[in-house]
Amino acid sequence: MALIGKIRQKKWLLIGSLAGALALFILMLMFDNPNQSFFGGSRTMVGEIEGRKIEYKEFNQVHDMLYRNAQTDGFSGRTFLWNYFVDEALVKKEADAIGLGVSKKELLDLQFSPDQNRLSQLIKSRYSDPNTRAVDMEQLRQLKDIVTGGQIDQMIKDRKLVGDFKYRWAHQEKEVIKDRLQTKIANMVSKGMYTPTWMAEMLGEQQGKQVDFLFVQIPYDAINNAEVTLEDSDYKAYFEENKKQYIQDEETRKLDYVVFKVLPSAEDSTNIKKEIAELVPKFRATDNDSLFVETNLGTIDAAYVKKDALSSAIADTVFKMPIGSVYGPYLDVNTYKAVKLLDRKIIPDSVSAKHILRKASDYNSLVAAQKTIDSLKALIETGAASFDSLAVAFSEDPSNAGKGGDLGTFGPGTMVKQFNDVCFYKAEPGKVYSVVTQFGVHLIQVYDQKFETNSQGVQLAYLTRDIIPSQNTQDAVKELALDLQEESTDIKVMRTTAAAKGYDLETSNWLKANDYAVGTLGAGQGSREMVRWAFGDSQNTKEPSVGDVSPQVYSFQDQGKYYVSKFAVAALKAIRPAGEASFEDVKSEMEAAVIDRKKAAMITEALAGITDLQTIANKYSSKVDTARNVSFASAYIQAVGSAEPDVVATAFKTDLNQVSAPIAGANGVYVVKPINKPAVAASNAAQARQTNQQMARIQVPGKIVPSLRKHADIEDNRSRFF
C-alpha cells in the first residue's frame, strides 16, 4: 500500500516519462522511414515544379541514361537535366491551361517527315551529317520503321539496338513535344505583340531626330585609382540609388580559401627519369615493339613523321640513328621519354585514292558495316567485281559514290588520321585496305603516289612518363593543409596563419547552393563539396555560421589526371539572403562604380570654368572628336563604339555651338558641342510600328520560359543529393 501511495504522489513524473518515451518512439519511426523527412515531405524528392514532383530515382535514371558515357564532371549534365525538367513542367502547364497539345500524327511528322522544313529542330540537329550538315533522311526512314513497326523489343533482344533504346527514344519524344509546345506558345505571344499608334508616332519621331556634335571624352583611367579617396558616404549614396540592381532570387554565400598546389619534387623527377632509364635496355632488345610499348604505357604511331614535325629535343638525333636503336631518357617539356626508331622511308607528297564508306553510329551498326566492307574487299581481291562498280552500289558517301568512290589527289593531313595513315604510310597502289574512322568503315584503294621532294619520314615508338608528384609528395602537401585547418579555429585565425606562413588567400564569388565551380579551383567534385558544406548540405556536418572553417581539407584532380593537384582549406566569409542586399553585402562589388563616380566628380570640378574643347582635350591628353548622324532613338556614338544615352540627350538639349557642362557617361566624362541639328523628317509611324513589333517578336522565344520561371512555384532540393 505504501508503494501505491508513492506512485500516486509521483504520478506526473510517471506520465511525463511515458510521454517522453512515446515521443522518442515516434521520432524513431520518422527517422527510420527513408522516404519521409522530419517535417513531412519526401526525403527522396529532388524537386517540385508547380506540383510536378521529381524523385531522386527518376532524376538519376534519366541522367545516367543520357550522360553515362559523357566525358564530363557530371555536374553540368545534372544542371542541364534539371533545367529541362523545369521547362517541361512549366511549358506543359501553360499549354494545358490554354488548350495546346501535340497529336500523335503531329509528333510523327516532327520526327520523320520527308519534308525537312517540318522536322523538329532537335531531330535536325541530332540526325545530320557532321560534314555536310544535311539531315540523314535514310537514317530517319529506318528509325521510323523501327519505332512505328513494333520491332524495338525484338531488335533489342537480338542485340541490334542498345538495351535502353526504347527509353532514350521516349525521352527524346518528350523533348520534341516540349519544344513544339514552347514554339506554339511563343508564336501565340508573338502574334499578340502590337505597337499602338501613339508609340509608333513617338518612335518614328525619335528615329528621325539626329544631331552632329563635337566632343571630348576623358576616360576614367585618366585618373589613377590611388588618387581617389572613398568614404562610406560615397558607397551609401551609390547604393541608395542603385539598390534594385542587387536584388537576388536566392541566397548566396562567399568563401575564403587557401590553396596548396601539389608540384613534383626534384626527387620525383629523378625517380621518373630513372624509371624510363631502366626500361631502355629492354626496349632496345625487344622483338615485339607493339607488345612492349603497350605493356609499358607507351605509344606507337603508324605515321612516318618528317623532321620538321618532330620535337626539337630529338629531331636531329632520330634521323641519324640506326633502325632499332633507342635514344633517352630525354626531357620534353614536362615529360621524360625514350624513343625507338622503328623504320625510315621516303613518303609520297600526294596520293590519289578512292574509297567505299559504310556509315556507323553505334556498336551494332559498326559490326554490320565491317561485315559489308569485308565482303566487298573479298569480291575485289578475287576479281569478282570492280572497285568502281561496288562504290556506286554500296558507298554511303554521297559526294563521290557516283564517281566510283574517287577522292582525287590529296596531300598528307587532308583526311582524318586513320584514313591518312593508310594512304600515305601503308598502302601499295592497287591493293585494298579497310580502316575505321569517326565516319564509319572505309575500303580504300590508292591508285597513284607522287614523289616530288623525296622527303624521308621516320616511324617511332615512345616510352613516356609525365613528371607528376608522387604519393609521398601529395601526402606532404596535404599535411600542410591539415596543419592549417587544425590551427584555424575561425576565419580570422586562418587568415592570420596563412599570411604568416606565406600562403595565398583567395575569395570566391557569391555562390549559389547548386554551384559546382569555385574561383581559381574551377569545376569539380572538390569545389562542389566546398559549396555543399557552405550551405549546410554536407552529410554529418552542421550548417556553418559566418567565420567557421570547414572540418575537412578538399582535394582537386585535374581533368584526365590521376593524382591530386591541389588541396584547399575553406572558411565561410559571408551569407547574403535572397531579396534586397544589405549595404555591407555588396560594398566590395560597388567599388569600381563608386570609384568612377568619384573620378567623374573630380574631373567635373577640374573643368569648372573651361569652355574651350581643345583646352579640355589638352588638359587630359585627349582629342576633340566628331559624332555625326547620332540618333536620339539609339544613342549610339560610332566614334566611341557604344551607346551613351546621357551624352546624346545632353547634345540634343544643348543649343547649337554651345559647350555643355561635363557629363558622366558609361566610359568616361564627356563635354559636347552641338554643331548641327537637321530638321526632323516627317515621322514614318507605319515603318516604326513594323520595326518595333518585329524586334519585340524576335525576343519572345527567348523570354517565354524565363518569364514562366519567374512566377513559378519551384522547390529545388538538388543540393541535398549532389
Q: Out of 70-74, 329-333, 486-490, which region has the weakest mean confidence (pLDDT)?
A: 70-74
Task: Note whether residue 242 is domain-resident.
Answer: no
Last residue of a domain, one of 536, 559, 579: 579
Helices (H), 99-129: 104-112, 121-126
Q: How confident is the model at residue 633 (pLDDT cuts 50, 70, 90)?
A: confident
How many domains is the chain built from? 6
Task: Give mean pLDDT, residues 481-498.
Answer: 96
pLDDT (0 to 100) of residue 555: 96
Q: Out of 67-71, 96-100, 567-571, which region has the weakest mean confidence (pLDDT)?
A: 67-71
CA 185/CA 98 separation, integer angstroms: 9
pLDDT (0 to 100) of residue 556: 95
pLDDT (0 to 100) of residue 28: 46
Asked if residue 439 and residue 361 are part of one domain, the reply reads: yes
Asked if residue 413 and residue 486 are part of one domain, the reply reads: no
> What would the pLDDT profile of 452-471 be if each residue is shown by its tens digit?
888 888 999 999 999 999 99
Q: What is the CATH number of the domain that holds 444?
A: 3.10.50.40
Task: Give mean pLDDT, residues 330-354.
Answer: 92
Asked if residue 442 and residue 382 are part of one domain, the reply reads: yes
Q: How confident is the model at residue 537 (pLDDT cuts 50, 70, 90)?
A: very high
Q: How confident is the model at residue 330 (pLDDT cuts 50, 70, 90)?
A: very high
Task: Note whether residue 37 is domain-resident.
Answer: no
Residue 212 in this model has a pLDDT that exceeds 70: yes
Residue 21 in this model has a pLDDT that exceeds 60: no
Task: Give mean pLDDT, residues 483-503.
Answer: 96
Residue 39 in this model has a pLDDT that exceeds 50: no
Asked if residue 575 and residue 626 are part of one domain, the reply reads: no
Asked if residue 167 and residue 143 are part of one domain, the reply reads: yes
Q: Considering the chain, what is the average pLDDT of its residues?
A: 88
Task: Note whether residue 712 is domain-resident.
Answer: no
Q: Out of 301-315, 568-582, 619-633, which region has the weakest mean confidence (pLDDT)?
A: 301-315
* DSSP per-residue codes, 166-214: HHHHHHHHHHHHHHHHHHHHHHHHHHH----HHHHHHHHHHHH-EEEEE
Share of the chain above pLDDT 90, in %: 63
User: What's the distance, Cα to Cα, between the start and end of the chain in Å?
Assistant: 63
Instruction: Quote the DSSP letter at residue 118.
Output: G
Residue 527 in this model has a pLDDT that exceeds 60: yes
Task: Note whether residue 138 is domain-resident.
Answer: yes
> What would the pLDDT profile of 109-164 be if each residue is shown by its tens digit?
999 999 989 999 999 988 887 666 788 888 888 888 888 888 888 888 878 788 88
Residue 219 in this model has a pLDDT that exceeds 90: yes
Query: Which domain does 164 fall in, by range?
Result: 47-191
Task: Note whether residue 714 is domain-resident.
Answer: no
Task: Give mean pLDDT, residues 421-450.
Answer: 92
Q: Between the ranges 63-67, 242-246, 280-284, 357-361, where is the mean pLDDT highest?
A: 280-284
Is-cis flag, bond preceding 329, omega within 30? yes
Last residue of a domain, one of 401, 422, 450: 450
Asked if residue 555 and residue 503 are part of one domain, the reply reads: yes
Task: Note whether residue 619 is domain-resident.
Answer: yes
Task: Note whether residue 482 is domain-resident.
Answer: yes
Element (H, E) at 148: helix 137-148
Task: Note whether residue 459 is domain-resident.
Answer: no
Asked if residue 370 and residue 438 are part of one domain, the reply reads: yes
pLDDT (0 to 100) of residue 610: 92
Task: Give mean pLDDT, residues 237-266.
Answer: 94
* DSSP per-residue codes, 604-652: HHHTTT---HHHHHHHTT--EEEEEEEETTT-EETTTTEE-HHHHHHHH
pLDDT (0 to 100) of residue 707: 92
Q: What is the CATH number of the domain that holds 632?
A: 3.10.50
pLDDT (0 to 100) of residue 366: 86
pLDDT (0 to 100) of residue 526: 94
Residue 223 in this model has a pLDDT that exceeds 90: yes
* C-alpha cell of residue 443: 575500303
- The residue written with cell numbers 515621322 in the block is 683
User: Strand 45-49 relative to strand 52-55: parallel, antiparallel, unpaired?
Assistant: antiparallel
| Beta-sheet strands, E only, within 159-228 | 210-218
